[in-house]
Amino acid sequence: MFWRMTKTVLILPGTALIYIPILIQWFSERWPFGASVGTRLQLAVAVMLAVPALVLAAYTMKLFVRDGHGTPAPWDPPQRFVVSGPYRFVRNPMLSSVILMILAEAVALNSPLLLGWALVFFLLNTLYFIFIEEPGLERRFGEDYRKYKAAVPRWVAMLRPYEPAGDNGS
């Protein structure tokens, strides 16, 4: 499982958080990064965004492995429906963490273009979820997913956790 998850991380978050931001910075003539680093306050804000986002990303990936018996990758999806941890509050906590990390990069590097990338990434993923991922999850997990989808928002976390039918809170 370690190598499966490593491949997934290098391809998916790696593209969104490393490869594309480097290209954006390179082609915007804001390279090297040192030439465009923000103030100490900006760096502090970036850290305040990035640290919880990294923790959330690691935790949600762990849930995919432990509870779902798979990875976040479309080519190696979870075999079981994951409705634990942050997934009880919001449908896409893993992608929310990636968006927060892109925002942290934009703040740290004082880059409006990376802020634009965060918006594009959000919009692309929203379209992907609506037209590809969610219909696929409905086919794979049926009524359990449809109930979850109806009760749990895609992007903005609820204050109270979702309680799947038959869950006694343990």
Q: Is residue 156 part of a domain?
A: no
Q: In this model, does residue 32 exceed pLDDT 70? A: no
Q: Is residue 32 part of a domain?
A: yes
Provide the CB-side half-sphere exposure for 56 (13 A, CA).
Answer: 20
Q: Is residue 95 part of a domain?
A: yes
Share of the chain above pLDDT 90, in %: 72
Q: In this model, does residue 11 exceed pLDDT 50? A: yes
- Looking at every residue in the chain, the average pLDDT score rounds to 90
Q: Is residue 35 part of a domain?
A: yes
If we measure between CA atoms, which residue out of 71, 70, 94 comes closest to residue 17?
Answer: 94
* Number of folded domains that form the chain: 1
Q: Is residue 163 part of a domain?
A: no
User: What are 84-133's pLDDT values in tens digits?
Assistant: 999 999 999 999 999 999 999 999 988 999 999 999 999 999 999 999 99
Q: Is residue 158 part of a domain?
A: no
The domain in which residue 8 lies consists of 2-151
Rounded CA gap, 170 and 59, in Å? 19
Q: Is residue 166 part of a domain?
A: no
Share of the chain above pLDDT 70, in %: 92
Taking the whole predicted model, whether its pTM rises above 0.75 is answered as yes
- DSSP code per residue over 101-136: HHHHHHHHTT-HHHHHHHHHHHHHHHHHIIIIIHHH
Rounded CA gap, 51 and 83, in Å? 23
Q: Is residue 125 part of a domain?
A: yes
Which CATH number characterizes residue 72's domain? 1.20.120.1630
